[in-house]
């Protein structure tokens, strides 16, 4: 049996802890899964009632014996009484430039926003300390209320939370919302020009080639109310399909209609 639990078990443990570490006063969303009743070395199992979601620090402390079996069961029970209204975390990637892949199209160095939706910016990079750039994303619902925001790499989910997947390596985040929408974000380093051409295609601009190595941010997105779906290799926008385009140095890389 593989020590890493199956997806369905992880999903149940994540739901149980409301997508945060189960230790008291810890709200870290980067989760690992601890076997404690019985511990893994006594029996290889993936039973939800003998496992608990913890952040890497508290997982290590649990392995070291910080909590008794009874106390860990108590922490599991306590999870059900906690109402985590908001979940937040952070990406630590700061770069001079990022290349954005959103729905199979590429966006680079667009000035105001990489992608805008009506009069709002949807995905953009902003200068932070010492000329480094950080990621920004904002999702609004029909009442113009923000339900998901990344502000200079710090993310917060405020409403409609159905599932949050965010592994401890801090390279990705996937959020499913109760309104049927989702967002997936990941950071990948592209080490050299040939890997870049492989990823982006031959039509990869000279500037991008010069600036390699480069960090790629991939964003998958479903916004049902706007008929927008950024899949792995293509963008479905209303009745149109777009893929393989590169937009650079424009005021806005892609302007999506509000309706």
Q: Are 150 and 137 contacting, i.e. CB atoms less than 8 angstroms apart?
A: yes
Residue number, 62 or 161, with CB nearest to Zn ion: 62
The smaller minimum CB distance to Zn ion, of residues 31 and 123, is found at 31
User: Among the candidate windows 24-32, 66-74, 199-207, 231-239, which touches Zn ion by CB under 5 A?
Assistant: 24-32
Tell me how far apart the alpha carbons of residues 161 and 170 are, in angstroms, rounded to a whole number. Answer: 19
What is the Cα 107 distance to its own chain's centre?
A: 19
Site for Zn ion in 159-188 (CB under 5 A): none
To Zn ion, the closest distance from the beta carbon of 62 in angstroms equals 10
When asked if residue 52 is in the footprint of Zn ion (CB under 5 A), the reply is no
| Residue 137: CB minimum distance to Zn ion, A | 26
10, 21, 166, 221: residue in contact with Zn ion (rule CB under 5 A): 21
Determine which residue in the list 13, 23, 51, 216 makes contact with Zn ion, applying CB under 5 A. 23
82 binds Zn ion (CB under 5 A): no
Residues 6 or more apart in contact with residue 246 via CB below 8 angstroms? 105, 106, 107, 108, 200, 203, 204, 205
Q: For 211-228, give the DSSP string.
A: H-SEEEEEEEEEEGGGTE
Residues touching Zn ion, count (CB under 5 A): 6
The yes or no reply on residue 128 touching Zn ion (CB under 5 A) is no
72 scored as a contact of Zn ion (CB under 5 A): no
For the chain, how long is the longest CA-to-CA vector? 61
Rounded to 5 degrees, φ, ψ at 88 are -140, 155
Quick one: which segment of 33-41, 50-58, 105-113, 116-124 binds Zn ion (CB under 5 A)? Answer: 50-58
SS3 for 231?
coil
Residue among 70, 72, 79 nearest 14 (CA): 79
Residue ranges that bind Zn ion, judged by CB under 5 A: 21, 23, 26, 28, 55, 58
């Amino acid at each position: 049996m593989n020590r890493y639990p199956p997806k369905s078990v992880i999903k149940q443990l994540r739901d149980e802890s409301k997508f945060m570490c189960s230790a008291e006063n810890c709200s870290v969303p980067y989760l690992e899964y601890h076997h404690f009743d019985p511990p893994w070395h006594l029996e290889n199992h993936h039973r939800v009632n003998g496992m608990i979601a913890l952040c890497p620090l508290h997982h290590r402390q649990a392995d070291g014996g910080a909590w008794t079996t009874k106390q860990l069961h108590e922490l599991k029970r306590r999870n059900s009484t906690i109402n985590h209204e908001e979940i937040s975390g952070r990406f630590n990637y700061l770069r001079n430039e990022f290349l954005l892949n959103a729905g199979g199209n590429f966006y680079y160095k667009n000035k105001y926003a990489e992608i805008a939706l009506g009069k709002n910016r949807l995905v953009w990079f902003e200068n932070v300390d010492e000329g480094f750039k950080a990621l920004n994303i904002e999702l609004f619902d029909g009442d113009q209320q923000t339900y998901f925001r990344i502000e200079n790499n710090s993310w917060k989910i405020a409403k409609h939370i159905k599932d949050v997947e965010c592994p401890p390596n801090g390279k990705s985040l996937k959020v499913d919302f109760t309104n049927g929408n989702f967002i997936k974000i990941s950071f990948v380093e592209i080490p050299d020009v040939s890997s870049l051409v492989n990823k982006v295609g031959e039509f990869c601009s000279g500037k991008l080639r010069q600036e390699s190595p480069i960090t790629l941010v991939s964003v998958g997105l479903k916004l049902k109310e706007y008929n927008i779906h950024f899949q792995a290799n293509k963008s479905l926008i209303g009745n149109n399909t777009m893929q393989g385009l590169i937009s650079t140095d424009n005021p806005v890389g892609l302007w999506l209609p509000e309706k």
